[in-house]
Structure 1
Amino acid sequence: MSQKKLVHVTQVPIRWGDMDVYEHVNNTIYFRYAEQARIEWMENLGHRLSLSQTQGPVIVNASCTFLVPLTYPGTVEVRMLIGPPGRSSVETYYEMRMIGQDRLYADGSAKVVWVDLETGKSCPIPDALRELMLSDAP
């Protein structure tokens, strides 16, 4: 198992519309919570996503283990961790808890690959961004 380092923490309010017929947060929404943490982290590194870019991060796989149902009302704390970045990718990991609780409600991961958006092929993470990731990485 690779080393992981905590790089970002965010809080996301659970909305009524996040719930499903079973009165808990729908499984698809957990991926939105992870996305929110990932986008905030990228922006904190100075990378703002834009339609005018020719390269950018793409998720090539994502997973989530649902341990305890999240329910409304409440606020989710999403902790984002990363492994050591490679040439064109970085593994990201997520832990989700209700604010004020130590109990782990869900954990997940997503592999982020830097892609040339015109060719669809992987390309190196920009040096400046990779250096910032390395300073965050284990």
Structure 2
Amino acid sequence: MSVQGNAVNSLTMPLRWGDMDAYGHANNTVYFRFYEEARMIWLTGLGFGNAEDPTGPVIIKTSATFLKELKHPATLVVETYAGKAGNTSLDTYHLLKDAETGEVYSEGYAKIVWMDKTTRKSTPLPESLRALAAK
């Protein structure tokens, strides 16, 4: 996975003690929660992702590459990038980094599809998201 371009959002957050597992490092599911939080804050900041909206994002594919073990204490930065836009979908990428050193712990990916919440079918991607992907 290769993340390129300018981050469209950057979110700083701490690794919590409760994010650790029995092996003494952050469980792999925690990485996906960090990606999700960053993605939803980004979308909400753009005016999307509210529960009452008639349309919104759903994830149809996600992945992560774990590059470095993540241990408490740590302050993290999650950078979110807009990738290729389709008619109804958008590729998003994430880098999970150490806030102090910039060292990358993981790379993440999520393909989101824009969905009509009434019909439960895909609907055209909002133009403002398409424009971000074109940058």
TM-score (norm 2): 0.89
**In the alignment, is the contact (CA less than 8 A) between 1:5 and 1:136 conserved in 2?**
no
- AA in 1 matched with 2:89: S
Percent identical pairs in the alignment equals 40
The 4+ residue runs of structure 1 with deviation greater than 4 A are: 1-4
Q: How many residues align?
A: 134
CA distances 1:103-138 after superposition (whole Å, capped 9, x unpaired): 211001000100112332111123xxx225514642
C-alpha separation between the residues in 2 aligned to 1:39 and 1:12?
Answer: 14
**In the alignment, is the contact (CA less than 8 A) between 2:58 and 2:112 conserved in 1?**
yes
| Superposition deviation, residue 84 in structure 1 | 3.6
**In the alignment, is the contact (CA less than 8 A) between 2:15 and 2:73 conserved in 1?**
yes
Unaligned runs of 5+ in 1: none
**In the alignment, is the contact (CA less than 8 A) between 2:82 and 2:132 conserved in 1?**
no
Relative to total residues, which structure has the larger strand share, 1 or 2? Answer: 2
Is 1:39 the counterpart of 2:40? The answer is yes
- AA in 2 matched with 1:9: S
Matches within 5 A, 1:1-138: 4-50=5-51, 52-126=52-126, 130-131=127-128, 133-135=130-132, 137-138=134-135
RMSD of the alignment, in Å?
Answer: 2.0
**In the alignment, is the contact (CA less than 8 A) between 1:4 and 1:137 conserved in 2?**
no
**In the alignment, is the contact (CA less than 8 A) between 1:76 and 1:97 conserved in 2?**
yes
Unaligned runs of 5+ in 2: none
- AA in 2 matched with 1:45: L
